[in-house]
Amino acid sequence: MFLNISVLSFMLGFFFANILSTIPAQTGEWNIMSGSIIVTLNEITSKKIYSHRVVNQYLVFELLNNIKIGIVYGLFVDAFKLGS
């Protein structure tokens, strides 16, 4: 059961990465702002997740971490699509 929820949260993060990389880039002016907002939210989430002493005990923190990893993975995939 936990594996299914983890994979679902990872794919949700991947979906959010596709949304975050396509919608603000339509105007061409929001690329730097959206990138800085994504990095800031990623670092704030990492700080909250890893500031607790026992990380694996809380399911919510694991799901947020999987969403964060999905967002980073999705942005890397989009960067490789743009580079090819």
pTM: 0.76
Do residues 20 and 38 lie in contact, with contact meaning Cβ atoms separated by under 8 Å?
A: yes
Q: Mean pLDDT over residues 3-13, rounded? A: 89
Confidence (pLDDT) at 48: 78
Confidence (pLDDT) at 11: 92
Confidence (pLDDT) at 59: 79
Confidence (pLDDT) at 8: 92
Q: What is the pLDDT of residues 12-63, one digit of tens each?
A: 999 988 887 777 666 666 667 777 888 888 888 888 777 766 555 677 878 8
Phi-psi region of 79 (alpha: psi -120 to 50; beta: other; left: phi over 0): alpha
Give the torsion sign (CA, 59, 41, 78, 25): positive
Domain ranges, ordered by start, for the chain: 2-83
Say how far apart CA 37 and CA 20 lie, in whole Å: 10
Q: If you ran DSSP here, which 8-state letter would residue 51 be given?
A: T
Do residues 14 and 74 lie in contact, with contact meaning Cβ atoms separated by under 8 Å?
A: yes
Say how far apart CA 31 and CA 33 lie, in whole Å: 6
